[in-house]
Amino acid sequence: MAPSNPQQEEESLTSLGERIARLVHAHFDRLPPRSKPILRDDGTREWMPMCGVVVVREGGGLSDGEEEELTCVAVTSGAKCLPSSQLPNCTGLVLHDWHAEILALRAFNHWLLSEVRSILTSPSSSSSSSGPSSESKSTPSKFIQRRTTTSNTENGNMIPFELNPTLKIYLYCTTAPCGDASMELTMAAQDDPTPWEILPSSSSTTPTETKELDLLTGRGHFSRLGIVRRKPARADAPSTLSKSCSDKLALRQVSSLISAEMGLLVNVTPNVYLAGVVMPASEVSAVGCERAFGSSGRMAPLIHSRSQSQYQGEGGDRYHYHPFSILPVEDKIVNGLWQYGKPTSRTDRCKPGTISAVWTAAPSLLSSSSSGGGGDGIGDVYAAQNGAKQLPKLYGSQTGLYETIINGMKQGFKASAPVGKGASALSRARMWGGLRDLALSVSLLGSCEGSGDGDETGEVEEWVNQVNKVAAASSYAEFKRAMLGTPAGRARQRAISEAKKVLVPWVPNEGDDEWGLDVLTIDNKGKKRKR
């Protein structure tokens, strides 16, 4: 039973926010010291933003004495991103943006991919169902269910899975997202709130540089609000075209949390949008959050947009603007949980840390084929590649991915000379590679089992062929074009185009797409490694 009045509902959300915060901190606390900020030799303390993604299964409600079931599926930390000038050297192996919020979004999609992989490749799944689009919605997963063959046929697409409708997704942040949602907080923290100067363009300025100048500096021009901003950085730092976390989260209010790749596997339903963002109370600017994310702020035109029906239609996709709740948690609670918070005074000897952590939960099918939780073979190889064996459990949660990131690469590798084995599992190349490997695995399983018959078998084959065609692209640029050639890809792109009409100025962050998956097997001397 839902809370019976607004006050009870508010109390319920307050309680939920605190439970989410405690759960995420409990997971981060159990990470090894190498993944956490340090106290430097000169006495300077490092601070770091941290985020977590929590999946909430709705229960009977507080009025029945039942609480929702919470599962932490991702924990990340970070506060850096790459200058735009370095993108052409990334070749899909280096993360462009490792602010905690953005890592959390990518980690969520990595977790989804591992969950789908475990369903499609586990013996229990193949023996209980005839294919990805079986009539039965049951799967061994706690979180994902199959869509029915009928719904796929009616909607004209072959997307096989969807999030269980009893689930909601929340994001926890120890600091307010950079950009528009935190501008009031940023202004209040300045010794001198004078906006940074943007130098005028000269006759030698290139078109790309002109676009960069049109995008306002992260913490500058405080009089301009409701606009898209770069990632904050020192005024003298190399420029970046990575959009602020506020802007990227606002875009996800329209495009959903599902990435373009995962959109081929998991259908967009209302509950794959963020239900809420949890933050310490002192990090919540009600004015800033409403302006950045709320239905009366910059996103308001999307509510009444005549074009909304155009990007909802094809394939039955449900893309539209979804506002989320802001759940504040009392500062005294967070302060007792978090020792790596940002400076509280201008005299505090504190600097941002350089080490980022990435952790995701293992698939809910705890078998050797999916989680590395024992046995030998595929499961052990997967676990070794993703660091799961280094960290078997975290606060009772089996580990699916564990990495320490420095400058966009796994610790021990250089972004200036990226190699496949140093690429994060969240990188462009590794996520594309994961989709390709999944498609190949499903193809092999289908050819070996020959399960299913009639129209159903044809639909399964059509879906596998579609994913194979996209994943087999020769370059990342071609991969993106192939995704746009699918019904799901076209619907997603229309939704993003609508969102960018109000999220302005949105300058593309381009320059890292002319490479293929061979980058994963080439070392820094240009030779392919034996597989």
> What is residue 189's predicted lDDT score, i.e. its pLDDT?
82
Whether 268 maps to a domain, the answer reads yes
- Torsion sign over Cα 454, 458, 459, 461: positive
- Indicate the residue type of 422: G
- Indicate the residue type of 238: P
| Interatomic CA distance for residues 151 and 414, integer angstroms | 47
pLDDT digits (tens, 9 = 90+) for 222-236: 778 999 998 876 666
* Residues 422/423/426/430 CA torsion (nearest 10 deg): -130
> What is residue 386's predicted lDDT score, i.e. its pLDDT?
82
Whether 4 maps to a domain, the answer reads no
Whether 164 maps to a domain, the answer reads yes
> What is residue 454's predicted lDDT score, i.e. its pLDDT?
47
Whether 456 maps to a domain, the answer reads yes
> What is residue 315's predicted lDDT score, i.e. its pLDDT?
45
Mean pLDDT of the chain: 82
Which residues in 95-117 are b (16+ Cβ under 10 Å) and which e? bbbbbbbbbbbbbbbbbbbbbbb
> What is residue 215's predicted lDDT score, i.e. its pLDDT?
56
Of 206, 172, 202, 237, nearest in space to 25 by CA: 172
> What is residue 333's predicted lDDT score, i.e. its pLDDT?
97
For residue 201, the 8-state DSSP code is: P
> What is residue 282's predicted lDDT score, i.e. its pLDDT?
97
- Residues of the chain predicted below pLDDT 50: 1-2, 60-64, 126-131, 133-136, 150-155, 201-202, 204-205, 209, 212-213, 306-310, 312-317, 367-378, 447-454, 531
> What is residue 529's predicted lDDT score, i.e. its pLDDT?
55
Angle at alpha carbon of residue 209, lines to 203 and 213, rounded to 5°: 95
Whether 399 maps to a domain, the answer reads yes
Whether 529 maps to a domain, the answer reads no
Whether 95 maps to a domain, the answer reads yes
List the domain range (segments joined by +) for residue 306: 12-59+68-121+156-189+211-368+380-520
Whether 127 maps to a domain, the answer reads no
> What is residue 152's predicted lDDT score, i.e. its pLDDT?
47
Q: Longest Cα pair distance anywhere in the chain, in angstroms? A: 72
> What is residue 508's predicted lDDT score, i.e. its pLDDT?
87
pLDDT digits (tens, 9 = 90+) for 131-159: 454 444 667 899 999 887 544 444 456 78
User: How many separate domains does the chain show?
Assistant: 1
